[in-house]
Structure 1
Amino acid sequence: MKRKMVKKRRGVRPAKGEAVDLPAHDNETPVGLDLNAGSGVLGTLSREMRTPLNTIIGFSEMMDREILGPMTHPQYREYARDIYRCGQTLLGLLNELLEAKRLETFASGDDDGADNIVELAPDMVCVCHEECITRINPAGAAMVGLPSDTLLGRPFVDLLLPESRALLGEKGVHGLCEHDQRISLVLQGLSGRRVEVELAAGRLQDGSRTGVLIVARDVTDRNTRMKEVVDREEYLRGVMAAVSDGIVTFNEHGVIETANPAAERIFAYAEEDVLGKSIDALIPELRFSGQVGTGLIFSLCDGLVIIPAQWVETQGKRSEGKKFPLEFSISSFHLRDRTHYICVSRNIAMRKQNEDKLRFLATRDPLTHLPNRYMFEERLHQAIVRAKDQNENIAVMFIDLDNFKNINDAMGHSTGDAVLRLAAERLLSCVDAEDTVARLSGDEFTVILKGVRDEQHTAAIAEKMLETLSLAFHVKNREVFTSGSIGIILCPPKTYTAEEMVKNVYSASHYAKKCGRNNYQFYNASLSMDALRRMAVENGLRKALGNGELELLYQPKVKMGSFEIIGAEALVRWTSSELGSVSPVEFIPVAEQSGLIIPIGDWILETACRQAKHWYDQGRHDVHVAVNLSAVQFRERDLAGRVMQVLSSVGLPPGCLDLELTESMLVDDAEETVAALNRLKKIGVTLSIDDFGTGYSSLSYLTRFPLDALKVDRAFVTGLPDDGDAVTMAKAIVSMAQNLGFKVVAEGIETERQNAFLHALGSDIGQGFLYSRPLPLSAFMALLKNGRPLFRNSPADTLRPRGGPADEIGPHA
């Protein structure tokens, strides 16, 4: 009987005894064809099919490479690739059909030439009868690592691993013929080596016997490589899925080819919806602005050229049309003569929010949300530039809330903060939207007024501010009152720099405070001179102690009845190496404001006590030394400890020291004042109120203060005994002091009549130029050594300084 061999068509089961499924190339599908017509027919058919197939393959390849023009939709390219693959499959199939005839001949053993070809074939070719191997080529034997003759007669199933034997089922090797396509099996090689194969089988009719022709190809290496490729692809897909940045690839025409999950989330697209869209659907402002070589140049609508791999900020667009802040970069790569572009993108909405918060914190006052100093200075520079460009005026105001510290101290910082917030709102209500109200620090505000007409226009705004600031602030069901001191500088174009304006307006504000608070003052050049002078004084004071420029003078205190010296007031004088002689009236306030009064005050206290020890050691135990304390010193927590330490170090008895305080120092926090005075009294020093009658203390507190003496201010002494008001005040003060058990010290006495009148009223001690001017230590010691009473035996004119009484005015004067 003539043997037949027919290739199976995919999906069609072959008739019994006619099908052998031969190995085909990858991605090929076998086609049924009767091979009995002979290789001549197949050869003719092959030649007739090759020419159109090559034409189709070439045309599809040109389409895939876009040689004939661009393909804007990615599916079109896939169609071209499918055509190319199918053409290649058909060519391979024709080649395989020609080989099938030779295999049939090999199976029958009738053709020595075909037998030689199969013997040299790289694939296993095996014939089985009754489940056993009756013929196998060397390549098949090599796959399992055994000689061909040892395999003859062995069941084919012995070559399979257990998991592959199950595929044969009860029909054995004949069951392999029932598979429409190649099947994957694993052979068991020598020493347990696994050999992965793709196997095809067909029935072979040889007379009365039915055999099975098996063709198997070793695909172990191929499968290993494919698995590596698959693993790598899965790895890359995992990386792309895990990356938080959106990654989109697109072609030269801007058509999106791939998008990772992050991009789908960022732009709210499903993968199937975004593929094929233009990239500008995601980034509307992206433009193609040119080409360099094979690469494109990208830019934004505003003309910004995008440098490859450089991050750019713009607006992204989600699928529903909503825009959001986007950061992206574009790079490219070349593959198969084509350029692909990668767009890496990030949704930076959260980052922008955080940047806005940081920018707000950097440029805004956290309490009032007004611009802070940094933003104020920036806006002031901008306002000056605008004023110059538009030839208009601007005004700058510096506003300082009056006595704000008292609010914080008495009611707490939460109340103070509430007042600051309300004050900010009131100031904002007084200006236009384009003006700036800023908070520099503490209770200091600044305002920039744009386009003001003149001084009257600016003054009207300042008056409105003063009025609104003077109204009650309602905080925690309480009414809180304050006011403002406003400095103003009006700046025509090209007049001042920003730094000069800030410096000058601060001087004007400082002057407004000196003028009584709750008022406004315009800057003038003399204020700058005052500010420069104050700076020079402060700088000089910082070097005065180290340079030995300070000196103490002593003005005697005398008993008004006997004119005997019973004490002296220590008065500081400063002769600067740069400024010359500086009055205490000028440098003491600067020292207090700058904090320098603490080291200066310590020096005065220690020096006065040490020098007083000189006359104490000479037997003048009855002569006390008086030292003025500043308000800053009095608020020091360890004042009593410092006084005790100085007295102990110089060896002066506490009873020889008299501390003088102004009455304005005693009205703040009366309870703490009483406690501080009691601590000083426990040391043993005496306490006096200096310049009594010029302050605003409550007389009820005097009964609680452990004081020893009141000093009647020279303002009430000057008009005595002719000024009726001065007489009335002097009588009242002396009478009150006597009733409270205080000694009375009258200062500023310059005439015998003043001395006689005050002594007659009951004043105990006198001090002034009638008795002596302030003297250096040596001159004062000479007076003490002389031992004679002052005034009676020495004409006053010989003791009075040429400069008049001004030398003893002011604190520590």
Structure 2
Amino acid sequence: MPAKPPSDPVPSGSGSHASAALLRLVADTVPVMLAYYESPELRCRFANQRFADFMERTADGILGTTARDILGEQTWQQILPCVQRALGGETVQHLCQQAGPDGRMRMLEFSLRPQLEPRGGRLATPGILVLVNDVTERLEAEQAVRQSEERMRKFAEATEEGLAFHRDGRILDANASLQRMTGYTLAELVGRSIFDFIQPEYRALAQEYTRRGREYPYELAMRHKDGHAIPIEAVGKTLPQQQDEYRVVVVRDITARKQAQERARFLALHDPLTQLPNRRHLMLQLARTVATAQERRKRSAVLFVDLDHFKTVNESLGHEAGDQLLCEVARRLQEGVKATDFVAHVGGDQFVVLLSGLRGRAAAAAAADALIERIRAVYTIGETQLSPSPSVGISVFPDDGYGPDELLRRADAAMQQAKESGRGTRLFYTPDMEGQPAEVLQQEHLLREAVFHDALELHYQPQVQVASGRLVGLEALVRWRHPQRGLVGPDDFIPLAESRGLITPIGRWVLREACRQLKAWHNEGLALVPVAVNLSAIEFRQRDVAGEIARVLQETGLEPQYLEVEITETTLMQHAEHTRATLQALQAMGVAVTVDDFGTGYSSLTYLKRYPLDKLKVDRSFVADTPADGDDVAIVTAIVQLARSLQLQSVAEGVQTTEQLTLLQSLGCELAQGFGIAPPMDVRRTRAWLHALPAAAS
């Protein structure tokens, strides 16, 4: 006999039709697959459209079909134990895999709910309501989250950088690297405020960084469990979450970097052999000593010390013995002066001692005599005893000069005279020790004629962007057309100009001529870039620099953003209030300020943050031997990083080779100039160079 067709689960009649329509609407609306199977054969009595579509049947065509036929043998065998439990009256859930209509394997969550009816004193199961939920996407998402968390866990354990997760400052988790870095266990970290582990002087900075949700790296210090401070670089990232966002902080121990920077700064200012200050350090200290002596109306003295017959020690005992002798002399000099005095090794076998707060020349003579006796005492180098004698030249401020260069040069001249007079003695400077005075007067006369009769000229050196080669500026460099020697550079006449009161008119001419010429080039449609002019410390101190610049800009028509001034570290250190007021006036005007020859000074690091500055120039002496010289590379790296941390542009001078440019780009140095890019050029050649410049490079 044919199988009995399934009966309609809803009674007949108009009301029944309405209920059936409502049931169908509800069933087709719910976001799960739904079907009802009648026992014992488990034939489908009802299915919503979602269930029928997944099983690739029509809603009517699926009725009367058994669950085994619909699901297929493989799925049926998986679900059969659950069906048997459901027929026994138990609500059962089961997860299984089945191919969907598109052929893709889907993860289905079956919920089998028996229909229970009392029959003959017991409960019977006339049918099972089947709810099927496609949980493929949910499980895949959960799997992705687990995999992501596992990757994060592995990364957190593998990285040497410390990781801390926190919400509102409260630490939620930390990796093993952070625990090793701080000395705290995870239990000691979790639940604590992350700011408890920051050094007090950086705590407000860290709190403000977190409050604003900033995500750039910055430097600070945290406290180790044993109490010592650890310099770190930290960067925070905000990670959104459904409940609430939290922050992850990546911490890098930069102790080695700081030590390298300190070493680079030390090497920039000290002699690596004797550990004494070098010539650069000496010149800045001498400028400070002179300024202090002038304010207090005290005398200071420069003692230039040269070891007699040192060459014989090197030739007979070897350079290692010579180095030992230099180190011992350095130690004796340091021990033989007051704490307020200063000892430097300026090269070879030459030392310089600065004596401050002297009452008169007699005190300088007594100090020099004591040092000579101390140096003469016997040295034991290896198995050899030595008794070297020094020749000492002395110049006194203000008797023998006012400027650092002048005082050092005259002490050197006195030392040379002491050597010629029999060695092992000391002599004070006298005017006849510096060559022919008539020649000096003649050079002064020629320079005055040059200043007031237009015998000076400007050359211009391009400054480019390291990464792209694009022209970003020109530096104006003064030259003197000497009647006998031809074209000479500033090193040959600027010291004379400063000592003879000519630097101010030269500086005024350079400023006006550079602004006039640049405005003329702008009017021709040439590259719209600024021009930089150099100002000496004397000009900065004696002139109303800001007022003069404002007048020159107005007279020439050059806009302020196209003028830059370059000053030395010595300028920053002298007359701090006057300097700050002048720089602030220039900033308000729109004129940029560059610190020239950076790295050749001493304590200007403390001044940088006080003044409105725009650029730091890396001195050419540091660039010249890169990339071969590791010490110079370290110094350049430190200066570039310092500039970046202070939000200043870094400029490398004296770039000669492609290798140097490549190194500078890798270090993040932004700008460069030098003969390897373009030499200083006169007006005619500069104009031709600008005309030939590709549009993309301007």
**Deviation of residue 384 (structure 1)?**
2.5
1:217 and 2:133 aligned: yes
Q: Does structure 2 retain, via aligned residues, the 8 Å contact 1:268–1:318?
A: yes
**Deviation of residue 166 (structure 1)?**
7.1
**For residue 282 of structure 1, what is the amino acid of its counterpart?**
F
In the superposition, the TM-score normalised over structure 1's length comes to 0.45
Q: Which residue of 2 aligns with 1:134?
A: 44
Find the residue that maps to 2:392 and give its secondary structure: strand
Q: Equivalent residues in 2 for 1:87-236 (5 A)?
A: 112=20, 115-117=23-25, 119-120=27-28, 121-128=30-37, 129-130=39-40, 132-137=42-47, 138-147=49-58, 149=61, 152-156=64-68, 159=71, 162=74, 168=79, 170=81, 172-174=83-85, 182-190=93-101, 192-206=103-117, 207=119, 209-228=125-144, 231=147
1:393 and 2:260 aligned: no
**Deviation of residue 281 (structure 1)?**
0.9
1:277 and 2:192 aligned: yes
**Deviation of residue 400 (structure 1)?**
0.6
**Deviation of residue 228 (structure 1)?**
4.7
1:420 and 2:331 aligned: no
| Residues 250 and 232 of structure 1, relative CA distance in 2, 3 Å threshold | closer
| Residues 274 and 504 of structure 1, relative CA distance in 2, 3 Å threshold | same
For residues 305-360 of structure 1, what are the alpha-carbon distances to aligned partners after superposition, in whole Å with 9 as ceiling and x for unaligned?
99955554332123454321133456778889988766554322111111122222
**Deviation of residue 402 (structure 1)?**
0.5
**For residue 130 of structure 2, what is the amino acid of its counterpart?**
I
**Deviation of residue 406 (structure 1)?**
1.5
Q: Does structure 2 retain, via aligned residues, the 8 Å contact 1:169–1:175?
A: no
Q: Does structure 2 retain, via aligned residues, the 8 Å contact 1:107–1:213?
A: no
| Residues 275 and 431 of structure 1, relative CA distance in 2, 3 Å threshold | same
1:496 and 2:402 aligned: yes
**Deviation of residue 214 (structure 1)?**
1.9
Unaligned runs of 5+ in 2: 1-7, 444-482, 486-698
Q: Which residue of 1 aligns with 2:511?
A: none
**Deviation of residue 178 (structure 1)?**
8.8
Q: Does structure 2 retain, via aligned residues, the 8 Å contact 1:118–1:125?
A: no
The structure with the largest alpha-carbon Rg is 1
Find the residue that maps to 2:266 and give its secondary structure: helix
For residues 285-309 of structure 1, what are the alpha-carbon distances to aligned partners after superposition, in whole Å with 9 as ceiling and x for unaligned?
345599xxxxx8559xxxxx99955
Unaligned runs of 5+ in 1: 1-104, 291-295, 300-304, 538-576, 580-813
| Residues 262 and 367 of structure 1, relative CA distance in 2, 3 Å threshold | same
Q: Does structure 2 retain, via aligned residues, the 8 Å contact 1:168–1:175?
A: no
Distance in 2, matches of 1:313 and 1:181, equals 59
Find the residue that maps to 2:261 and give its secondary structure: helix
Find the residue that maps to 1:355 and give its secondary structure: helix
**Deviation of residue 524 (structure 1)?**
2.3
**For residue 220 of structure 1, what is the amino acid of its counterpart?**
T
Find the residue that maps to 2:434 and give its secondary structure: helix
Distance in 2, matches of 1:493 and 1:213, equals 113
For residues 389-432 of structure 1, what are the alpha-carbon distances to aligned partners after superposition, in whole Å with 9 as ceiling and x for unaligned?
44433222111110111121222212222221222222222112
Q: Does structure 1 retain, via aligned residues, the 8 Å contact 2:304–2:411?
A: yes
**Deviation of residue 502 (structure 1)?**
1.1
Distance in 2, matches of 1:199 and 1:334, equals 34
Find the residue that maps to 1:357 and give its secondary structure: helix
1:453 and 2:359 aligned: yes
Q: Does structure 1 retain, via aligned residues, the 8 Å contact 2:42–2:127?
A: no
Distance in 2, matches of 1:179 and 1:205, equals 10
| Residues 272 and 139 of structure 1, relative CA distance in 2, 3 Å threshold | farther
Q: Which residue of 1 aligns with 2:345?
A: 439
Out of 518, 524, 527, the position equivalent to 2:433 is 527
In the superposition, the TM-score normalised over structure 2's length comes to 0.52
User: Among the aligned pairs, what percent are the same residue?
Assistant: 26
Find the residue that maps to 1:361 and give its secondary structure: helix
TM-align CA RMSD: 4.4
Q: Does structure 1 retain, via aligned residues, the 8 Å contact 2:163–2:175?
A: yes
Q: Does structure 1 retain, via aligned residues, the 8 Å contact 2:55–2:70?
A: no
**Deviation of residue 222 (structure 1)?**
3.6
Distance in 2, matches of 1:339 and 1:297, equals 17
**Deviation of residue 143 (structure 1)?**
1.6
| Residues 356 and 410 of structure 1, relative CA distance in 2, 3 Å threshold | same
Distance in 1, matches of 2:125 and 2:79, equals 20
Distance in 2, matches of 1:217 and 1:337, equals 26
**Deviation of residue 151 (structure 1)?**
7.1
Distance in 1, matches of 2:269 and 2:382, equals 30
Q: How many residues align?
A: 424
**Deviation of residue 119 (structure 1)?**
4.2
**For residue 432 of structure 1, what is the amino acid of its counterpart?**
K
Distance in 2, matches of 1:177 and 1:438, equals 100
